[in-house]
Structure 1
């Protein structure tokens, strides 16, 4: 028996009832109505994904998407140009947290401000001082993304420093991070198909920065390492070994043989990853 195909107007009426009727606060019903619209070609799948993203950010907190402090690229107050410029050029970022001698965040350096300074002071030696450092925006880990997005818009900010309940820096978040929750990953001219922190040494052998996210690692190597308690491949290795390993320690998971290439007392920094032929993943 053939099912009757409802007209697009019926789905629009459903949406209007949800948006302007008594069910306005029911996100689940609204998402189901949107998916019905997509299935019946009233909206396309890209539009569906964006609308679902808009609804989802109201339930996501900053801590869920922030860049952890250990992965932040910072500059230091009183640093000279020879120390700052390589970081700016190699990172491809336009905004950098500025730390004082106690490693506390005191502001933000914008690359365009540095360029403007060079144009105005061509013959002088540059030292990072307060007159070029902008005020930093601080937000708690628990702030919802929809609220932060509105604050970014109202204050014309693109970056915020995330602090924990004790006021210590736990990471940073950008407006791009929030928009990617809505529209998906935004690639620019500095993005690469193969992460720049993954280097192929020879066939089936790679040097991998331990800060590479577990999701990126799985996508790049078609692996299936799952652990909801960690975000990075380095964290995954530490969790598996249940210790902070020293250089030379080896771990094999299926066809993936991992050797610790670089580490310190607190974490692992670099891994050598070899995929062994003839071993099931």
Structure 2
């Protein structure tokens, strides 16, 4: 080495620092690459992506070949830098070489290339994967030996290095990914995706039409009353019951009702013949499960029952889909009056309004783990049925009861207490 010119040694040292930068950047780039985008590119038959994916399936071997190469060039660079420094400065060159090379390697072979690779992992990882693949084959015996010793130590602490768990996301993590997508996903699509993820948090009880609002046909009414009710109805499907809503015996579709009404002498027997068998579903069924059941059983509407088999309301496929994409039809005048904005910034809300609807409309966070309506929330909080207008507070919300009708809160005034 003493006979080699300083210019050649300096050139070798420069090349070694470049190689060190390559190994450092390729390590960060390979491990920082977006795993889901990589899987997409692999499915698209991108050759570089396939190469990277193959190397990442055995991270122990990948890290082994990178660290073997990086440590080799760093140690060799240290030796050459020491020789150069000793020639120039004598014995003091050892300290000078150590300090200088440490700064050079830190800046040019570690921090800068790794930062670049972290910012643009694909630009670094894709071309580097071909070089690393060749090095892995060339140095495989040494990599195998190093990995064997390393994996043996890992097994002593209960870690299996060859077991590379696939990256998976739970619901909350996937929700964060969708929210952080920004302009990559249109806002309307983001809302739908989030709504789909939220289906498992919402049960049929939250979106059903309660039994007191169900419009159905009582088979015990006269045929004339039944015909008038069918003609006046704006619903495409109506439950048919015998005396009370708990005794649902069929579902009448508007298409079948039209055939029934064309009969010159319509009878109750003909009406029952036009109905289809009712489809029942528990009120606690999550919406994602209910949607799958509707699809599997080819149903459009279900009768919602509680644990005792009593009818609690009805739920339609349309109600579930509206949870995902929003309302299909504009609200009626009655629905618009459920939440009224007052001049003082408070809101006059119908007591039968679902709490989830209030939260969605006003971006509030009223509790939804108990009663489903505003009236139910007020009664549960008070622990008695009010017989006069009173005020109460639920969390950060002030509630003033304004009207009471038949032991039910008809209207209440709500304000968010900032």
Instruction: Give the structure-2-normalised TM-score.
Output: 0.49
Q: Describe the SS at the equivalent of 1:238.
A: helix
Q: CA deviation at 1:25?
A: 5.8
Higher-helix-fraction structure: 2
Are the aligned partners of 2:236 and 2:253 in contact in 1 as well (CA < 8 Å)? yes
Q: CA deviation at 1:186?
A: 1.4
Q: CA deviation at 1:83?
A: 4.8
Instruction: Point out which structure has higher relative CO (alpha carbons under 8 A, 6+ apart).
Output: 1
Within 5 Å, give how 1:91-240 maps onto structure 2: 92-101=234-243, 103-119=246-262, 121=263, 123-127=264-268, 129-183=271-325, 185-188=326-329, 191-192=331-332, 195=335, 210-214=351-355, 226-228=366-368, 229-240=370-381
Which of 178, 182, 191 is matched with 1:34 structurally? 178
> C-alpha distance in 1, partners of 2:402/2:170?
47
Q: Note if contact 2:219-2:243 (Cα within 8 Å) is conserved in structure 1.
A: yes
Q: In structure 2, what is the equivalent of residue 251 of structure 1?
A: 390
Q: Which structure 1 segments of 5+ residues have no match?
A: 1-8
In 1, the alpha carbon distance for the partners of 2:169 and 2:391 equals 49
Candidates 22, 31, 44, aligned match of 2:166:
22
Post-superposition offset of 1:46:
1.4
Cα deviation digits, residues 42-94 of structure 1 (max 9, x gap) = 1112112222222332454333433333332222124334356447736x321
Q: 1:180 to 1:22 in 2, by over 3 A?
A: farther
- Partner residue of 1:4? none
Unpaired stretches in structure 2, ≥5 consecutive residues: 1-32, 42-164, 393-397
Change in 2 beyond 3 A, CA 1:60/1:230: closer
Count of residue pairs the alignment pairs up? 251
Native 8 Å contact 2:401 2:409 kept in 1:
no
Structure-to-structure mapping, 1:250-269, within 5 angstroms = 250-252=389-391, 256=400, 258-260=402-404, 262-263=405-406, 267-268=407-408
1:195 is paired with a residue whose SS is helix
The question of whether the paired residues in 1 share the 8 Å contact of 2:260 and 2:266 is answered with no
In our comparison, the structure showing a higher alpha carbon Rg is 2
Q: Measure the CA separation in 1 of the matches of 2:213 and 2:224.
A: 22
Task: Please identify which structure carries the higher strand content.
Answer: 1
